[in-house]
Structure 1
Amino acid sequence: MAVSITDVIAYRRLVAAGNDELWYEDLNVAAGTMVELAAANGDIDTSDQLIMFEGYQKVFVVNGANLKIADFVNTKLTITAPTTAPTRGSTVTQATSNATMVVDFVNTAKTEIYGKTTSGTFVTTDGYTLSGGGMDPADRVPSAVAEATTTPHWYDWTVYPDGASGSMPAKAYLGCLYQGRPMLAGHPDYPYQWYMPRQADHTDWAYVANDAQSPVAGNDADAGEIGDIIRCLIPYKDDFVVMGCATTIWVLAGNPAEGGTIQEVDLTEGIFGADSWCFDGDNNLYFWGTSGIGRVARDFKSTINLTEISLPALIDDEAADPSTHRITMEYDRKRHGLLICITLLADGTNSNYFFSLNEATIGLYPESYPEECGTYSLFYYDSNDKTYRDLLIGCKDGYIRKFDNTAEDDDAGGSDDAISSHVALGPFELGPGGHEGSIESIEAFITGGDPGGTETDSDDIGYKLFTGRSAGAVAEAVDANSGEKVSGTFQATGRPRGRRKRQRVRGAFAGIRLANTTAGEKISFDRLIVNTTKKGRLK
């Protein structure tokens, strides 16, 4: 017996917002091609906080009073408003063409019906009337038919116009999909409150009792208390949603309308903002907190401060303010680490960190980008096309960028900026047991192959050598990049005679700074060997 197998592919497409515009990846043209959704132009305010999330093949846009939907699945029928709209979930049939659809949404004016076409093709031919789903009168003929597969639909996110769907929040700045409910929070007048519509129905906000799928609302506090200001919603599958607040962290597990529980995770730690969190490849939850970079314990009963010992002043040093800064975090699947970006919204100046989770290189590595590249959003796009599968960076100047391991300068839009890279080694002790020591020579093994080979070569590496009577003094000098005892250059690969520098420098502690600030150049090395001898006792 012959077996015919047809692949069914779940297509992903990128959607981005910027400059009060919404853009989407038009797969009908080509993967990676971004096209503006013209209907959304000026209908959102990207100078204000904006959150987008996916659900039911739609994009839900949460932007204060601008609560919108970009619909990528339904057919839209434009009609003269009937007295009674067809009910949601019912079937509407067109006479003669015999086209049918399952109704998903009707706008407030009842002039637009959105639904999934299940058979045939809807037409605008006179006399081809619509009926079904309690629609009254059943004599309407579409004046226009539009398919989301051609151009996504754009419309207001409102309740269903049947008079029995309640009312949804007038404003929200936070949103996510949890257990089939598009969850909202961040109402300026009720910042401690969260809201959920009916399960599997984003248009029903009528709260009822004894119904497991009923809309539901609540807050994060002990009984009788108002609750903390919610700053982020963090869903994990259908298992739980973490609510990061200004000074506390809570977790909601299960269905809040039937047996769900809400418990505190930490009553002394808050989360900075809406995007100041991410999951790593092992589903560990990290966040930028009020006292450092944190990780939520696996049992969701506590948090772990990862910078409490190594960088106790990190939060104070960065001095980020939620009213003026944006802090975004995302897990980089290719480089196995967290990217943490702190950006001043006014001008794009930034301070960033790559938190390597690789056991061999684990640590926090500071970075800074050109102001044009100031990070407003981070998203790992798991594209169907591996060419575009990468960590994407939404930048201040409106461009979407990604890291390029082959590039030797930063792309600042109209120009390229030289990358000023350096690494500090030390402080390390030269003379153990209270003695001084002397550096006799330092030898660098720079990466790359022989001249004329195919291996990627490093460029020259400048070095500075610092010594002092204490580790603290050396660390300060290295950080300030001043007061070095000697300096020079390690010549690039293929020149082994330039590998060793005979520099005699005496001290109790030492530090080395390797750097390159030249445009179009990059550096890397395998190892650095420091040859020392023990000297007299430190006085």
Structure 2
Amino acid sequence: MAEPRTISFPFPLLGLERRTNIRNAPPFSAVDALNVRPIEQAEGRQRGGTRPGFQKAFLEQLSTGPVQNLAQMNIASVSGSFTWVDTFDGSSMLSVWTAPTFLIVGDSAVLPAVASDASSGNFSTARTPILGTVGAIRDDFADLDTSAAYVVVMNVYTHELDQNFFYVFLKMDNTTPDALQDGLFIELKFISTAGPTFGSISGSVKSYVGGVLQNTYNFAGGNTVTNGGAIYKIVVSGSAIVITLNDIVLLDTTLSESQSGRTVGFGIRELSNFPANHDVPFTHIDTFSLRYQPTGQVDSVQRRQFSGIGGGDLYVEDDVGAMILHSSSVNMRADVTLQAIEHLSKLYIADYGDQRAGRTDGTISADGLTLDTSGAFTFNDKGIDLNVHVIEIFDVAGGAVAGIYEISTINAGDLILSTSAGTTGNCSFRIERGPKVYDPVADTLTAFIATQGIAPFGYAQVTRYLDRLCWAGHLRDGRNWEQSRQGAPDDYDFFPSSNSIGRAVSGQTSLAGVLAAPVTAQIPHTDDYMVYASLNSMWVLRGDATSGGLIDNLSRVIGIVSENAYAFGPEGELIFLSRDGLYILPFGGTNPPVSLSAEKLPRELKNIDTTLFKIGIEYDINDRGVHIFLTPLTSGNIKHFWFDWSLKGFWPVEMPSSALEPFVTTQFASDDVSSNAIVFGCRDGFIRRFLPGANQDDVFEITSRVVLGPLFLGGSAEDEGILLELEAALGQASANVSWELYVGDTPEQAVSSGLDASSTPFASGTFLPGLNRSERPKARGNSVLLVIQNIGSTGSWVFNEIFAKVKSLGRQRIA
């Protein structure tokens, strides 16, 4: 008789596998999973667990509808903020930090010399069962302008079963800093309930002058937050102070006191019921940053500025990290996503469409300033806005000059143009939106008008290549692309008097004598080459089109589905979504595209209809993977995907609410390195970001599961067996998970039952953190499947290993 043997239910580190026979699926592959990753977020180990959650990157809502664009500009000016950051990397603290000597109010515990876990990139409490308090005071910021607003940001991490305290010390004396003498002593306190979800957060600002407590300003009550990562932000503007945790406003008040010190610091205290050897860091912060206006600044300083568009309005990040509505009579159309690109420290926005009038019987007056029609037509009832609409004059005759013109006056029977369109003549014309340009130094948003030639009009795509503005995706003729003169984004004279190198140029990508296909994406790779793609082809422009550049075909079968369906990988490879699934174009653009998804996901990523879905792809440098966002244009339930770059596995992702679905995405490269992240503008008008350690998606719980197996109980496809014992070990700080066991006469039957929500499992239960007691389900059959999923609002879970003791019962009997 066969002896019992031990088998393992490994975490499927290689992700979904839906191409091979279930019976012969590759090891470490999954038949189903949701909102999990092979690299768990607590320590970054390859063992599996819940994916990180996301939170609002900015408190401000850009619109009640979808965010339309996210962009960044690199600008240089003598005004603006500077960001100082410490990410606590290395084996010791920076020399600018010293230990505080004052007492913690209410706890009567002295802050000891700095005790940090800097070698692992965070500042944490020591690993002892009952923990004291640690902290640090930063050397005086001698150039901090206290008359301007400044902001302290910390990425804080908390843990279940703990009492967690975070302290910030502000406005302390520049020579002898002591928050209990002169300054602000700010306490943020987390109190956990039974289980990983925190029951409440509280805190206060205590204001001291001359060693005397002047006032206590308490945080708003009734707020709760789950354990894990959060963004703690304090904005100081004179006597005004605003304190937030993620998107929760804890305090917004004006202090009665007006201390003027520049010295800042922080502290951490943890009272823990957790064992000293648990497998994640204790309460800690992984970044401390101060963003402020320097005094006496005379030299230009380069900095990044973030922008977004929502409801047709432009929002720009201010010096303390808030998204502020740009006050202007100029706006963009509000019903589509828009592309924008920085060039020469200005932001060029491809606004287009929204046609208000179009005729073929236009007439131009002798001075070129009045446009009329030969037939009866009224202009003042067409909803034309002088601030946003321009007129394109084309198919000219007589003295009329083709071009794009701004309108100065709208009369019932004619239009007055801002500049002359030649002399007496005839033309066709159309009135619609044209591109816009934002100057962040002058803080102006204006229509983009060419100084030479005809400005690009009707294009939905804009990018930058070889110091040129590049346009594609025309509304009426998507086959053409245009590039401005090098170094002159407003010059579109394609036929200058001298046929100079670097002049403006336009063209198409196709074989000679063959009609070109509409351009779906134009993608520059630095200044080496530009990829032009259609739905079914890819071409590459190497070098400059006016200086010996060549256009080569990369594929006549594989193309790119839409303008944002691509990202660059860590080695410069182009990652993109085609109608055949996910592909990469190797660095250099000399070899054909290579498939990534068809070998594992034969259907899920094929033939995505871009008239129904908004597609965004971003490479996440922090977590080494690719976000593949597939958002329905109208609300609906669909899975996005995470592609783990190192293991080359696909993992389904689901948002808890259609309001949180991403419409536009970008890689946010902040001066504060702790803020570097993939950010996405959502259907509800907010901008969000993935946050390491976050256990929720905004205010929603993350539903997660993974299917383990199927495994043969009898050891082969012909035998049956019995599962005698089941033993699990989760991460020591993992949340609880539920488990369900399904058996079948075949692997397919076990999988079918396990994926059917109406099926009743053979056995079920709950696994707790750490090593669990053995379960004895005594399940008999040919194949077994184990489903692991989170329970309610228990937070993130971490997988270690699951074993089963099984016994073969011989050949399976077929009824």
TM-score (norm 1): 0.75
Give yes or no for contact 1:23–1:34 (8 Å, CA) kept in 2. yes
Structure 1 517/394 Cα, relative in aligned 2: closer, same or farther at 3 Å?
A: farther
Out of 583, 589, 592, which is 1:294 matched to? 583
Partner of 1:410: 697
Partner of 2:332: 44
Are positions 1:340 and 2:628 aligned together? yes
* Secondary structure class of the residue paired with 1:189: coil
Provide the residue aligned with 1:17 in structure 2: 309
Give the secondary structure class of the aligned counterpart of 2:750.
helix
The reply to whether residue 329 of structure 1 matches residue 617 of structure 2 is yes
Q: Which amino acid aligns with 1:471?
A: P
1:279·1:286 contact (CA, 8 Å) conserved in 2? yes
The 8 Å contact of residues 348 and 374 in structure 1, kept in 2 or not, is answered as no
Determine the structure 2 residue equivalent to 1:181.
468
Is the Cα contact below 8 Å between 2:337 and 2:664 reproduced in 1?
A: no
Which residue does 2:663 correspond to in 1? 376
CA contact (8 A) 2:584 2:593 kept: yes
Contact 2:346–2:440 (8 Å) recurs in 1: no
Q: Is the 8 A contact 1:51 1:174 kept in 2?
A: yes
- Work out which of the residue numbers 508, 512, 515 in structure 2 matches 1:223: 512
Q: CA deviation at 1:418?
A: 2.3
Tell me: CA distance 1:9–1:376, structure 2 relative to 1, closer, same or farther (3 Å): same
Q: 1:167 aligns with which of 431, 447, 454?
A: 454
Q: CA deviation at 1:464?
A: 1.0
Query: What are the superposed Cα offsets for residues 83-124 of structure 1, whole Å, 9 maximum, x if unpaired?
Result: xxxxxxxxxxxxxxxxxxxxxxxx97899xxxxxxxxxxxxx
1:431 — aligned with what? 714
Runs (5+) with no aligned partner, structure 2: 1-297, 355-403, 409-437
Provide the rounded CA distance (Å) in 2 between the counterparts of 1:522 and 1:487.
23
Partner of 1:313: 603
Cα 1:45–1:350 shift into 2, 3 Å: farther
Which of 432, 436, 446 lines up with 2:730 in the alignment? Answer: 446
Match of 2:807 in 1: 533
Match of 2:649 among 353, 358, 363: 363
Secondary structure, in 3 states, of the residue corresponding to 1:191?
Answer: coil
Using the alignment, how far apart are the partners of 2:674 and 2:665 within structure 1? Answer: 18
Per-residue deviation, 1:421:
0.8
Tell me the equivalent position of 1:56.
Answer: 344
Asked whether the 8 Å contact 1:231–1:274 carries over to 2, the reply is: yes
Q: Does 1:304 pair with 2:594?
A: yes
Partner of 2:448: 157
Secondary structure of 2:492's partner? coil
Aligned match of 2:796 in 510, 516, 522? 522
Does structure 2 conserve the Cα–Cα contact (< 8 Å) formed by 1:231 and 1:245? Answer: yes
CA 1:538 to 1:530, structure 2 compared with 1: closer, same or farther past 3 Å? same
The residue type equivalent to 1:365 in the other structure is W
Does 1 or 2 have the higher relative contact order (CA < 8 Å, sep 6+)? 2
Structure 1 residues 214 and 400 mapped into 2: Cα distance closer, same or farther (>3 Å)?
Answer: same
User: 1:321 Cα shift?
Assistant: 1.8
Q: CA deviation at 1:406?
A: 3.5
Q: Is this contact kept in 2: 1:49–1:64, CA < 8 A?
A: no
8 Å CA contact retained: 1:381, 1:389: yes
Instruction: Report the AA paired with residue 431 of structure 1.
Output: G
Q: What amino acid does structure 2 have at the position aligned with 1:55?
A: H
How far is the alpha carbon of 1:149 from its aligned partner?
6.2
- Per the alignment, residue 240 of structure 1 pairs with 529
RMSD: 2.6
Partner of 1:483: 759
Instruction: Name the CA shift for 1:365/1:166 in 2 (closer, same or farther; >3 Å).
Output: same
Please tell me whether residue 474 in structure 1 is matched to residue 760 in structure 2: no
In structure 2, distance between residues paired with 1:44 and 1:533:
68
Q: CA deviation at 1:181?
A: 0.6
Match of 1:272 in 2: 561
| Offset of residue 471 of structure 1 | 2.7
Residues 243/503 of structure 1: CA separation in 2 closer, same or farther (3 Å cut): same
Instruction: Pick closer, same or farther for the CA change 1:504–1:520 going to 2, 3 Å.
Output: closer
8 Å contact kept, 1:490–1:499: no
Structure 1: segments with no counterpart, 5+ residues: 1-5, 67-106, 112-146, 449-456
Partner Cα distance (2:749, 2:540) in 1: 45
Structure 2 equivalent of residue 83 of structure 1: none
Q: CA deviation at 1:520?
A: 4.8
CA distance in 1 between partners of 2:500 and 2:439 (Å):
33
Q: State the percentage of identical aligned residues.
A: 23
CA contact (8 A) 1:409 1:520 kept: no
C-alpha separation in 1, matches of 2:802 and 2:329: 56
Residue 176 of structure 1 aligns to a residue whose secondary structure is strand
Indicate conservation of the 8 Å contact 1:445/1:527, yes or no.
yes
What secondary structure is seen at the aligned counterpart in 2 of 1:501?
A: coil
Residues 354-395 of structure 1: CA deviation (Å, up to 9, x unaligned) = 111123xx4111011111111101111110012422111110
Partners of 1:40 and 1:324 lie apart in 2 by: 32
Q: Is the 8 A contact 1:418 1:517 kept in 2?
A: no
Is contact 1:485-1:505 (8 Å) kept?
Answer: no
CA distance in 2, matches of 1:40, 1:277: 34
